[in-house]
Amino acid sequence: MDKFRMIFQFFQSNQESFMNGICGIMALASTQMYSAFDFNCPCLPHYNMVYGLGILLVPPFILFLLGFVLNNNISMLAEEWRRPQGGRGKDPSVLRYMFCSMAQRAMIAPAVWVSVTLLDGKCITCAFCTSVPVDTLGNASHPRLSQGEIQRVLARIPCREIYNGQQLIANEVAVRYLRCISQALGWCFVLLMTTLAFLVRSLRPCFSQAAFLKSRYWSHYIDIERKLFDETCAEHARSFAKVCIQQFFEGMSTDLVAARCHLPRKAPADAGEAAEKLLGITDQGTMNMALKSWHRCKPPLHLHPPALPTGNGWAGEGQPPTHPSAPRRETAAYYSCV
């Protein structure tokens, strides 16, 4: 249990670890789904290829979309892409990094599905059973069979219980031939995916390490900023609700006192603290305006100390910066009475 707890804490450490864990779970789920899937080839001409290629390609597409749906950054990417320019510019490299990062993680489960399907060989056997070279592997001079009848016989190769073309081509020979081709394609696909992942991981720092670090940093910043904004809004909503409820009950107690029902009143200790957390936003219209302003014109990414007001206006406007004066030296004298 301690190992599982450590793994779970690692997945919760940051957004990337969490998404890596989700993608790993989806990859394992894709293999379990394929092993539990009951593959039934229709064994009919013009239907085998549709069924076989559909099982090979449609589930990976669904898993790819599911990988985007389960990724929390997809809404953040869409919001950052569609928001107005405002006070902060939009960096295309950061958006590109976020999209590529999500796409790479979403491709893990589809790649596992395609690899397992090709190595198993059932889909290729069903899809291309009518393309078996009968001239090379079987008896092409079998009498009383037209081209259409040969296609119908070959379409029954995946269905061993109803196959009746042993005189044309042996079922075991055709299945083994197609399965060897499928496994060769599967290993080539695995080698291609591994090579691409190796090249991306090893060659990217050699060309654009500075740009990669910049994009990665600001993508993390956008994620953290969104979380902090949500937490701040939730804290403001909690304080707003607390003050509203307190004012409601204070009004009710005032009405009861006016009706000569003397009830003990005690001021809540945290009323002032809740009011301070409202930051001056004390009505629905002002809060809606603040939310719209955050979406339309986010503040620029430039930190500066707040200006201090003076008698003639704001300090620092059109004036050179002043150096702080030297600290005043104080002397303490001690007297004793003997």
Tell me: do 126 and 41 sit in the same domain: yes
Continuous segment of H or E residues that includes residue 67: helix 48-70
Residue 320, in any domain of the structure: no
Residue 41 lies in a domain: yes
In a domain, 10, yes or no: yes
* 241 and 137, same domain (yes or no): no
**Residue 182 and residue 123 in contact, taking contact as beta carbons nearer than 8 Å:** yes
166 lies in which domain range? Answer: 1-207
Report the pLDDT value the prediction gives residue 335, as an integer from 0 to 100: 43
The answer on 149 and 248 residing in a single domain is no
- Does residue 203 sit in the same domain as residue 216? no
pLDDT, one tens digit for every residue, the chain (338 residues): 565 556 555 555 555 666 667 777 788 888 888 888 888 899 998 899 999 999 999 999 999 998 888 877 788 888 888 888 877 888 888 888 888 888 888 888 899 999 999 999 999 999 999 888 888 887 766 657 777 888 888 899 999 888 888 888 888 999 999 999 999 999 999 999 999 988 887 877 777 778 888 888 888 888 888 889 999 999 989 888 888 888 888 877 776 666 555 545 555 556 566 677 777 787 888 889 988 888 888 888 887 765 555 544 444 444 444 444 444 444 444 444 43
Residue 8 to residue 22: CA distance in whole angstroms: 11
Report the 10 Å Cβ neighbour count for 33: 15
- For residue 6, being part of any structural domain is answered with yes
Is residue 161 domain-shared with residue 149, that is, in the same domain? yes
Question: Can you give the pLDDT at residue 261?
Answer: 54
160 and 36 in a single domain? The answer is yes
Same domain, 203 and 214: no
Q: Measuring CA to CA, how many Å separate 324 from each of 89, 226, 310, 311, 314?
A: 35, 37, 17, 19, 18
For residues 109 and 239, state if they share a domain.
no
Looking at the 3D structure of the chain, how many domains does it have?
A: 2
For residues 63 and 137, membership in a common domain is answered with yes
307 domain residue, yes or no: no
pLDDT of residue 316: 44
β-sheet bridge partners, residue 309: 314
In a domain, 66, yes or no: yes
Residue 275 lies in a domain: no
Phi and psi torsions of 305, nearest 5°: -70, 145
Closest by alpha carbon to 72, among 292, 237, 234, 222? 222
Task: Give yes or no: residues 89 and 48 share one domain.
Answer: yes
Q: Examine residue 263 and state whether it is found in any structural domain, yes or no.
A: no
